[in-house]
Amino acid sequence: MNVKQNFPLTSLTQYAVDSPLTFCHDTFDILCILSGSIKIALDHHDARTYQHSDVLIIHPNQSASFSSNEENEILHMCLLPSFIEKYLGTDSIIFCDSTLEPNRSYLAVRRLISNISWRYHADGPVYDLSLYSLLFELLDLLKREYTLNLPLSIEYKNEKQKERSLEIQDYIRQNYNQPITLTTLAEHLHLSVQYLSKVFKDCFHMKFSEYVNLLRIQHAEHDLRYSDESVTDIALNHGFANAATFNKYFRTTHGCSPKEYRKNSQLISLQDKETPQINERNVYLNTDIEKEERNITVDCSTTTAFSQNLCSMINIGFAKTLLSVSFQEQLTRTVRELPVKYVRIEGLISNAMIPRLADQNGFYFASIEQSLNLLQHLNLIPFIELGKNSYNYLQNNSNQWIFRGYSTNKKFHLLLEAFLKYVTTHYEPTWYNQWIFELWNPPAEPLDTYIEGYKIMKNLILTYIPSAKFGGPGHNTGLPSTDFLDYLELFVKNQITPDFISVHMFTAQYLLHEQTQKLIRLLDPNIFSIQVSWMKRKIKQIFGHDIPLYITEYNSSLIPGSYINNSCYQAAFLCHNLLAVHKQAPLSGYWMLADTLSNIESPESYHINGIGLITGNQIRTPGYYAFRLLSKLGTRLIEQGDNYCITQIDEKNYQIISWHCVPFSSSAFLSNAEEHSLRNMYKHYEHMPPLQMTFHLNNIPSGTYRIKRYLLDRFHGSYLDIRLGELINGNIDEETFLYEKLSPLPEDMNYLLSACVPEERALYMQVEHTLTVTSPIYPHNVCLWEITNQY
């Protein structure tokens, strides 16, 4: 049974308001504007304009009318009143409307809504428990920060009286800012004034006018703290006849005037503000931003083993790319600069790579020989993916997706056997015994067919290469978690123990829907560690023992054209996630090496928003340089924590890497095509302050140390940001600009190749047993210190 059926969260949808919409629900409706602007009118009052990032909570039975004249996107969630009232009380009024409080931060609310959104659409008990936790966290935040709690002890003699009191509260809540009286309330409820007065006194223990004015004062408090409206306007907006009456009631309640209250609250309001959005060109030069300070002190005399497998595998796509001279040069340079050991290849065993000889019962292996000779020369080990998927499976139109399963194809088995015979007769066993084979299960192939083919191929491969590793099924973690469990149980049922379990991981994905290709899932930045931990537990639970988990494909996004991959976010993302899972996933493969390998027909991207570590213009991306910095870490771990990792090679060489991975601001990121914009790239992330990181390395040998700092940020190492700066400082439209940059001039390319590198600085320090380094780490930055004892 799906636990979500019993959730107090009855629905969570994302949609566009493209025509007037009116509703009146019996739930608490929480709205977050994800893009564009929407006009919303409540209870037939004048409409207010809600724009990107605005948040609004609508109470039960409150009518709402939506309209908009532009493209927009809204996230709409509904919570049961019983859930709210159980923990916040029936006498509590939630006041959560960002348009009425422009000086107040709604960042925490938006973050919770975003996290609730992706967990709501995820499957599996690990997410259900997280969703419950987030809902209670939301209630706690609403209770502390956004609830008007009247100092009342409401009592009910019976259910009828409770129902009547709730009607009273609902009417007052909706009309408190109008000139209402006990008489108007009695007329609304079709009761006599005398009877209503008695009910009110029995339940609320105060006069009707006192209750209304107390509610008005509490609403006014919010405006005094978080708006710039005048005291007079606040008084009139909340139902007081004039400012003098408002001042009188306010002073009686708070012991000070509204102006004094506002002045005393300014410090609190300032502390509650979000970090301002800074001009992109000056983001690292502004020293007025409050930094979050971190002090880390470590004992360098105690270490543990650190596995340097952070960049051990890379995906190169289809095998035919190995025949390209330009790609051979790219791969050769990559192997020199990154510690790549395995190369994952698709389509190596195919008719395109192994054609039949004319009029002979044999095969032509010239392309295979050329490809394998290159890999052997570079000391690379093939990781051969035996399934086959479509060349255009990254296109957004699902009708173009073609998946062909070769699991039980006899002709493919003959081709595989011919390949194995050729390999074992032309190459040394010391090399091919290290090879890894994976059989991926395409979405269109039944599980029974897959498992039948798995048995055949495993037996065939082990006949020729007994030491080879063979595994599968290449589960996509964006699909339901029950699919993953089905694979594991199918292996056990057929008494198969794979050498490894393979999965694909992406944090932002298009999900197939019948009527839309919009992105509806943007996963948590910690999703790698969450999912890997869950999958490792399930593997051990179902098989009864551990089996290695290989992440054969991963990236921050499966969306070509979004600029995510080539942004500095990618560098921090890689450090954040790889260091979180490297112990649990001994092998992981970045997807993919170069944009020229992906077969994505996306002319509008103009070579600067692909999916590879190397752009179509052969520029190294921030992700590429993140791997270079990670590869400098030592083989002994001193300490690893949030945003940092400290290692050593020996007693004279220490390394500190620190990063600042900032999450996306909403689950609607890139849900609309117009959001795929270079100009808007960094506007989709949360605005967070820099981290002031200070590291104290204790118990190191005294002496003179050379400290070399590598800084990867938007000014150093980012081709995307160079282009972004050119666009922002120019005055032509984005489409024309990108077209002009489609084929950079040779002199531009020479500059870009030399400019798109991390900054390197070195200094010397005399140290007596303790060394301290400190630096601000701004959002999306990665910083590495290499600390070497010279003498």
| pLDDT surpassing 90 at residue 501 | yes
* Greater model confidence, 369 or 723: 369
φ, ψ (nearest 5 deg) of residue 597: -95, -10
Higher local confidence (pLDDT), 574 or 11: 574
Question: Under a CB-based contact definition with an 8 Å cutoff, are residues 81 and 26 in contact?
Answer: yes
Tens digits of per-residue pLDDT, 343-389? 999 999 988 899 988 766 789 999 999 999 999 999 999 999 997 65
Residues 6+ apart with CB under 8 A from 139: 83, 84, 87, 88
Q: Mind listing the pLDDT tens digit for each residue in 117-149?
A: 767 766 555 556 778 888 888 888 888 888 876
Question: How many C-beta neighbours within 10 Å does residue 718 have?
Answer: 27
- Return d(Cα 785, Cα 633) in angstroms, integer: 10
Q: Is the pLDDT of residue 737 over 60?
A: yes
Percent of the chain residues past pLDDT 70, beyond the cut:
84
Predicted pLDDT of residue 141: 87
CA dist 329 and 56 (Å) reads: 55
Contacts of 516 (CB under 8 A, 6+ apart): none
Asked if the bond preceding 592 is cis, omega within 30° of 0, the reply is: yes
Note the pLDDT of residue 564.
81
Question: What does the pLDDT average to over 468-485?
Answer: 89
Helix residue ranges, H only, 11-106: 81-88
Look at residue 287 in the predicted model and tell me its pLDDT. 35
Give the model's confidence band at 720: pLDDT under 50 very low, under 70 low, under 90 confident, else very high.
Answer: confident
Where do the domains of the chain lie, and which CATH numbers do they carry?
A: 3-149 (2.60.120.280), 159-272 (1.10.10.60), 304-789 (3.20.20.80)
**pLDDT over 70 (residue 669):** no
**Which range, of 27-41, 335-349, 551-565, 757-771, averages the lowest pLDDT?**
551-565
Distance (Å, whole) CA 659 – CA 24: 46
Per-residue pLDDT tens for 297-310? Answer: 999 999 999 988 89
Q: What value does the mean pLDDT take over residues 150-161?
A: 67
Cα–Cα distance between 31 and 72 in angstroms, integer?
13
Nearest to 708 by CA among 632, 630, 784: 784
The model's pLDDT over 738-783, given as tens digits with 9 standing for 90+, comes to 777 666 777 778 888 888 899 999 999 999 999 999 988 999 999 9
Q: pLDDT tens digits for 640-659? A: 998 999 999 999 999 999 99
Question: What are the distances in angstroms from CA 438 to CA 3, 407, 472?
Answer: 34, 11, 5
Q: What gap in Å lies between CA 141 and CA 610, rounded to an integer?
A: 39
Residue 435 vs residue 277, higher pLDDT = 435
Phi, psi of 195 (to 5 degrees): -65, -45
Query: CA dist 465 to 381, 418, 428, 429, 758, Å?
Result: 14, 13, 11, 8, 43
Range of weakest confidence among 287-296, 411-420, 508-517, 778-787: 508-517
All residues at 6 or more sequence positions from 52 whose CB lies less than 8 Å from its CB, including other chains: 33, 34, 35, 36, 37
Cα separation, 705 vs 407, whole angstroms: 58
CA of 451: how far to CAs of 182, 414, 482, 487, in Å?
Answer: 74, 18, 17, 9
**In the prediction, which pLDDT does 5 show?**
60
- Average pLDDT of the chain, as a whole number: 82
Give me the count of residues in the chain.
791
User: How far is residue 642's CA from residue 644's CA, in Å, rounded to a whole number?
Assistant: 6
The pLDDT score that the predictor gives to residue 702 is 94
Q: Inter-axis angle of helices 159-175 and 193-204, to 10 degrees?
A: 100
Residue 198 confidence (pLDDT) above 60: yes
pLDDT at 756: 87
- Residue 651 and residue 648: Cα distance in Å, rounded? 7
Query: Does residue 69 carry a pLDDT above 60?
Result: yes
Residue 687 has pLDDT above 80, yes or no: no
> What pLDDT was estimated at residue 696?
95
The DSSP output letter for 283 is: T
pTM: 0.69
Give the sign of the dihedral formed by CA 632, CA 634, CA 638, CA 642.
positive
Q: Which residue has the tokens 């979405």?
A: 443
In terms of average pLDDT, the best of 103-107, 183-187, 661-665, 673-677 is: 183-187
**Higher per-residue confidence, 264 vs 584:** 584
Neighbouring-strand partners of residue 9? 79
Residue 12, beta-bridge partner list: 77
pLDDT at 108 over 60: yes
pLDDT at 366: 95
532 and 584 Cβ atoms separated by less than 8 Å: yes
